[in-house]
Amino acid sequence: MRDSDEIKLGSIQETLLLPLWGRAIETKKKKPLLIDEKAVSIINSIPYNFTTIAKNINKLVQYGWIARSIYFDKKIKSFIELFPEAAIVNIGCGLDTTFDRVDNGKIQWIDLDLPDTIDLRKKYISESERRQFISKSVFDTSWYDRIKNKRNVMLMIAGVLFYFNEADVKELFNNFHAFLPGVEIIFDYGSKLGINISNKRVIEKGGMDKTALIKWGINDIYEIEKWNSNIKVVGNMPMYKEHKKNYSMMDRIGMNIADAMKLMSLAHIKIY
């Protein structure tokens, strides 16, 4: 239940509050794996009641949001070490704060999302000369014109592709090939079973509207190479692979089961 009418988001856009809450909770721990003070600041000031999320979200889900953020941070930092003036586009940015953790003082950063989300974002996060917000659908190809360095581009897509059907994802990847040949993309994805479980454990239990149920799942990420001969999978791994040692035995058992079943994973691809 919301505490005020300030937050006016579509049902899918409202899910941006879930990973924001997860990063804030992690930051408040005695030994956090990820520190995101901006997330804490937003959580403390945004007019939203997080009681349902805090009560019902499984802790393994919250750990997954942190593992995803750490993976993306590492990938982006490695990319901008090679290309210090690269362009990074955060597709479906929500209230994500990755820029604050990875900025090298030279990159161009674009946060792209639907207008209602960008309007909310502007209340808590500021634009700058190198960090711009774009209020558009990712399918509106006019946003590609805003990228200055089209030779060195990385797209970060966190928790977004799930909401499209497979035909939409194929269209999107074909657009990337047409407008940004050579682009590198990092994203999370779920198996078909993982999508079903996430709908029950995250969307429904987190108190989100059922119109926000996620759709696209793929059991073998290498199948996307068959969509277009220019798509190549650079790497992928199960969600919890690099972080199990940081948790209790019971947590590790849950993580091992989730990873063995490939419920949620992380991918890095390149489209030539």
Give tens-digit pLDDT for 33-47: 999 999 999 999 998
Give every CB contact of residue 7 below 8 A, 6+ residues apart in sequence: 14, 46, 47, 48, 120
Q: What does the pLDDT look like over 185-206, one tens digit per residue?
A: 999 999 999 887 877 665 555 5
CB 112 within 8 A of CB 136: yes
Least confident of 8-12, 106-110, 130-134, 248-252: 8-12
Helices 59-82, 17-27: crossing angle, 10 deg rounding? 90
What is the reported pTM?
0.89
CB 231 within 8 A of CB 210: no
| Distance separating alpha carbons of residues 197 and 202, to the nearest angstrom | 8
Longest C-alpha distance within the chain, in Å? 49
Give every CB contact of residue 250 below 8 A, 6+ residues apart in sequence: none
Of 43, 9, 76, nearest to 266 by C-alpha is: 76
pLDDT of amino acid 143:
98
pLDDT of amino acid 198:
76
**Residues 200, 204, 208, 212, CA torsion sign:** positive
User: What residues does each domain of the chain span?
Assistant: 11-271
Structure tokens belonging to residue 137 = 């659908």
Q: What does the pLDDT look like over 59-86, one tens digit per residue?
A: 888 999 999 999 999 999 999 999 999 9
Residue with tokens 């040949």: 181
**11-271 to CATH, choices 2.40.50.140, 3.40.1160.10, 3.10.20.70, 3.40.50.150:** 3.40.50.150
